[in-house]
Structures are given as C-alpha cells and as structure tokens.
Structure 1
Amino acid sequence: MTPGISSAWLAVREPEDARARSTALAEALASHVHEAPIIAHDLGSGTGSMMHWLAPMLPGPQSWHLHDRDAQLLQRAADAPRPFDHGGSVVSVSTRVGALDDLDPEDLRGASLITASALLDVLTEDELRAVVSHCVAGGAPVLFALTVTGDVAVTPADPLDDDLRAAFNAHQQRVHAGVHLLGPTALDRARALFDSAGWEVRAVDTPWRLGWHTPRLLSEWLAGWTDAAVEQRPQLRSAAADYRAGRTAQARAGALSVDVHHQDLMAWPP
C-alpha cells in the first residue's frame, strides 16, 4: 500500500466523504444483516470515519473491529467518541494494527459485514485479491466505499485539465516499493473478482462535489492533485504552478467547482 495518510487529511475529507457515500447501499447492506449482535470489520479504517457514518444506519448491538497498519490513526479512533447504533446504543470498538498483507481469514471469522472506505485504489493486485478472497471465504456482505474512478470534472474548464488528470491517474497506478498500485482500475478489478466468485455486485456513483462550500478540502485536493501530477510528469511543473495559482484565485472568488468521481461497491453471496 501507499505511504501513510495523515489524520489531518482524514479529518478534512470526512464531512464530504459522509455526504458522498451511498445511503442506498447502506440500506441494502442492512437488509442483508439478520442476526444480532452485528460484528463489523472495517479494513484500512484510519480514524473510523466509515464506522461513524454507517453505525447509526444499522440496528444494534454492534461490535466494530478496526483494522489499519497505522497505530496512531487507530489510537485516535479508539479515543474518539463512539457512535450510536440505530437504536441509540453506543457501539463497542476494538482495533488491530497490521498490514492487509498479514490479514488472515481467521481475523474475519464471524463477521456480519465487512467495510472499507477510500481503500481499494491504494491496493496492489495481490492485496486486492487477498482481501476479496478473505471476504468470500467469510461469506459476509461487503461495502467498499469511495473508490476513485479517475474521472475529474473541473469547472470552468482549462486546457491543462486533461494533462493533469492523465498524469495524476498514472501516478495512482505507479510502481511503489516494487509493485503496481491499482488506482482507478481497482473498482473494475474488485467487481471482476467478486463476479468470478459467483457473488452479486452493485456499484453506485458517489462523487465529491467541491466548491465554495468546501474551501479547505478544495484547496487541499487541488494541491495534492497537482503535486502528484507533477511528481509523475516533471515537465508539467511550470505549467502546473501557473494553473494552481489561477485555480486558487478562482476558488477564493467562489468561481471554481470540481467533481471528483468515486463509486461505492456492495457485494454479497448469492
């Protein structure tokens, strides 16, 4: 997986993540969970934003098991106020520090459901295959939220948009630590793997819609998008600096909007 993600970035994006995720898929997931207590495993959980969003939509009692390789993020999740289930009871939370490579099917035994958010596109093919294999072996329904598709729509348009988009997407699929990251291809790969296992799959578009109402997230997204594009294609450096300055001025004037496209994927056994 890619290098660690900061808790500050997770905090900035959490409100828009919550708005963007599919409530329709959350309701469908709830319809597949019939036994109490609900035992939920959240992979790549970070500070627990998926749990905070989903737990209130599900009946209780609930027991959440958060998996992440970053012990500091998990500590923040453990120390934060715990969400309530749909009935108003506080959920229980435990944490597991470790890479997904080290995840064992036994770690997910007894799961009622398995979730992840903004995870699949930072995995390698082998990691994704292992995650899907473990999910299929456990037989619990899965909700993987906010996988990037690679499509970004910036308004007003600029001639450099396409070059930056292509460079950023290539950066998402770069070789890291000797392996290829999946980036925007992850959603289709996950769908194919669940399909081949005979599972039902449903995907829903869940874009971020950034603009005057999300000034900090828009600013940080723009910086990260252009920085990654330049890292991938250094020849864009000068043009990207001018682009970023112009886009920042538009954002401050409330004249810039960006749709960053994702999809949520739900999979369940037949």
Structure 2
Amino acid sequence: MPAASWRRLRVLDTKPVVVAGVDGCRSGWLVVLRQVTGTPAFDLRVFERFADILRLDPAPTKIAVDMPIGLPDLIGTGGRGAEQAVRPHLGMRQSTVFSIPSRAAVYCEEYGAACEAALATSSPPRKVSKQAFNLFPKIRELDEVMHPDLEETIFEVHPEMAFWRLNGKTPIPLPKKVKGKPYGAGLDMRRDLLERFGFPRSFLDQAPPKGTGRDDVLDACVNAIIAERLYHGEAEPFPHDFRRDGRGLRMTIWA
C-alpha cells in the first residue's frame, strides 16, 4: 500500500493523536487511520493480523472495530445484549446485525460442530448461520488479543449503527449490497455522509486495496469517526447496562 497519504501525518510539536476504524476483510483487517489533532490527515492500510494494528506508531488512541468483543457462555433469544440493543434503531438495516453464539461455538472450526455447540449453549436451542460462521476466524483472532486492560483502547462498533448515528439517528434507507453485489446508490449515500464528516472525496473514492471492497473502505471510515467520537467522549454504549463475559470483556456496541 503506498505510504504517500500517511506522510501527511508529519511530526508536530506534540505527538499527533490518531484513531483507527477497522473492518474485517478477505485480506485480513482494513484500517482507516484518522488524525484528530493538528492538521487533518488520513490513511488506509491492510494488516494480515489484528495484533499488528496495536504496534502502529503513532499508536491509535482509540480503535473501533466491526467485530464482536465479549462472548458469553450461554445465549438467549436474539443473541447478545449488544445485538438486541442496536437492532430496534436500524429498521430495514437490522438484518446486518448477526446473532453471535457462545464462545464454545465460535471456537469450533467446522460448521457442523459449531451448530452442535450452539444448540447446546442457547435457549431456545439455535444453530449457527453460515454468515456468522464465516466470521468466526476473525472473532477468534480478536478474542485472543482482547483483554479487559485494552478496553479503553479497543471498542466494538457496527457500521450501520455508526451511519445511524451520523445520519441524525436515522438508518440509511438504501442497502450497501443487493443480492450479494455492491449497490452503487447505497454506497454513494454513505460516501456523501462521510464527506460531510471530514473525509475527502478523493480518499473515499480511491480504489479499494486487493482483497477488499468499496463497502469495506466506507465501513472502516465510519468506524474511524466513531473512534473519534470515543476520543472526545461523545460515543455511547448499546446497551448502557452492558454485561461482561466469563473473561471480563464487556459486551456492547458503541456509536
């Protein structure tokens, strides 16, 4: 990935504050870096491993990632409290919020085994969707890195909930994809909203890196804006009365 855009993050009198929006992609993790002090600057990178993001210099003060954090031992109707809390706000976009099963199911590497584990750890018993199962490697990777000591740096977000926040607490009316294919009108609507929040049109319209799509770029950008909101103390958790899993990880989505 060319480093030209990142050179805009020149050394200032004080170390710049940088936040990161992260979206899982086929190539690993798509990261949008946004400087929130001094001269505005942006960069887009792809990392193979999530842990590599924590080694950046300057290190992101806040990292907003579209991936579940906190995996309960037992799951009730509608998934974790985080999923249940955000769906009512998203209208027709609520189908983008997958129900995440128990940690036992997430750590199964075969679909059949994951369904069996999910059935045994959910009430009422529920299998795993293929869409959710495809996320399990990324969820495991983040879960292996995550620790309560990192919770002031790493936050779970959801792009459609982030767009809801930026759009005056109204869900984006058009989808990003139709029948599994990118939907230009829906993507353009999100791009135009992101431009109003400081992203240059040229940055938003750049060719996606190999192994990513235009929707991944826009999702990482909106996640970066939530990371900035977190830095300024403006983001809120859904639900507010969140619970923690057996490892002490909070289970809530920030917007």
> Which has more strand, going by share of residues?
1
RCO (CA 8 Å, sep 6+): is it higher in 1 or 2?
2
> Which has more helix, going by share of residues?
1
Q: Does the alignment reach a TM-score above 0.5?
A: no
Q: What TM-score results when the alignment is normalised by the length of structure 2? A: 0.30
Q: What TM-score results when the alignment is normalised by the length of structure 1? A: 0.29
